[in-house]
Amino acid sequence: MYIYTVKPGDTLFDIAQKNGVTISALVAANQLSDPYKLPVGLALVIPGQSIRERSIVVNGYAFPGISDIALLGALQYLTYLSVFSAKTRIDGTITELNDTALIRKCYVNGVAPVLTLTNQRESGGFSGDIAHAVIADEEVKTKLIQNVMEYLDRRNYFGLNIDFEYVREEDRTLYTQFLLDFAAALRRVGYSFSVALAPKISQEQSGLLYTAHDYAAVGSIADKVIIMTYEWGYTYGEPMAVAPIDKVRQVLDYAVMEMPPEKILMGMANYGYSWTLPYKKGTAARPLSLSEIPQTAYSQYADIRFDDTAQSPFFRYYDSAGTEHIAWFEDPRSIEAKLKLVSEYGLGGVSYWNINTLYRPNWAVLSGMYGIEKVFGQG
């Protein structure tokens, strides 16, 4: 496996001939909806023999409504599938998910299903108030742990992932104790336990996303730690790469000093955004599915460029009204660059947010570089 960047005048026939592969193999590996429309600068995966250094752990977050096409296209490349999400209520109860069929498909395909527990409101959005209600009251916390354990057993989950965000700074110690209590309950019956953390670069980092997340403590408690190394470019932020590699490195430089590297699953973004220019604070970017990028760039007569500092692709275009836009996203080059960090830092693996949209080039790059650890064989 290697990566080829489309040049002016290239056709898929020429690229296939030049690289000794079939057109059908290129179309399949790169999920090309129209193989005759290749924007200049598009990165293509050239299928071929791969030399894998080692096997790694791969987690993918998925919502229960994921299509069979996206799910079955991803399962062979996953160790864990984290179902998102059971939402915590302030009384210690949780919302239930339409997850039975999803769990069954995981086991059939040799993937361990994991329940993700969040402090999201039922209407959406993370809530520090919900987190405080369940971690500050011993009775409510005990009730929550009991309810989660019962749900894991009833639905036949393999483990639990906790993703609590916007936890108050003053609740830092309480949150750590909350994780300790959960870990003890889970380990008594053999469940796996992972925790998602915001991307910090220092212990003293300020901000509601960061202050309650104690890297050293969580690293000692959890089996795996998912670090959310994405969303520098986000819906209501200014235009920039979603996961610029220089920013990801800063997080990993700090993380490996606070916890065993082999416990870390580096976050990988499976999406992009398009912003309207000139950017106005508070305006929303439009989410982009990675599979739609080639068609979008070609239809807008846009050349795809690559930022060497961020190691991320982007393109500018004008819509039918003459308004300028810029799109930042992930492609095989940016995916390969980030996956190399797994070996460089000695990490345990990666975690994808999220796999609800299928992007085959990602799986081609991943499987070309690493084997995938499985916790049990396929059924």
Catalytic: 324? Answer: no
- Among 52, 71, 44, smallest CA distance to 60 is for 71
Tokens of 250: 């800063």
Return the closest-CA partner of residue 152 out of 61, 83, 79, 223. 83
Nearest partner of 194 among 137, 299, 115, judged by Cα: 115
Per-residue CA distances from 355 to 19, 68, 248, 315, 343 (Å): 30, 11, 20, 24, 23
371: left (phi over 0), alpha (psi -120 to 50) or beta: beta
β-strands 324-328, 312-318: how paired? Answer: antiparallel
Q: How far apart are CA 102 and CA 52, in angstroms?
A: 30
Task: Determine which one of 138, 139, 165, 373 is catalytic.
Answer: 165
Q: What is the DSSP string of 231-262?
A: -SS-TTS-S--SS-HHHHHHHHHHHHHHS-GG
The DSSP secondary structure of 162-173, one letter per residue, reads EE--S--GGGHH
* Cα–Cα distances in angstroms (integers) from residue 332 to residues 29, 171, 213, 349, in the given order: 11, 40, 31, 18
What would the two tokens of residue 342 be?
A: 């797994």
Residue tagged 């959960």 (tokens): 182
Catalytic (active-site) positions = 165
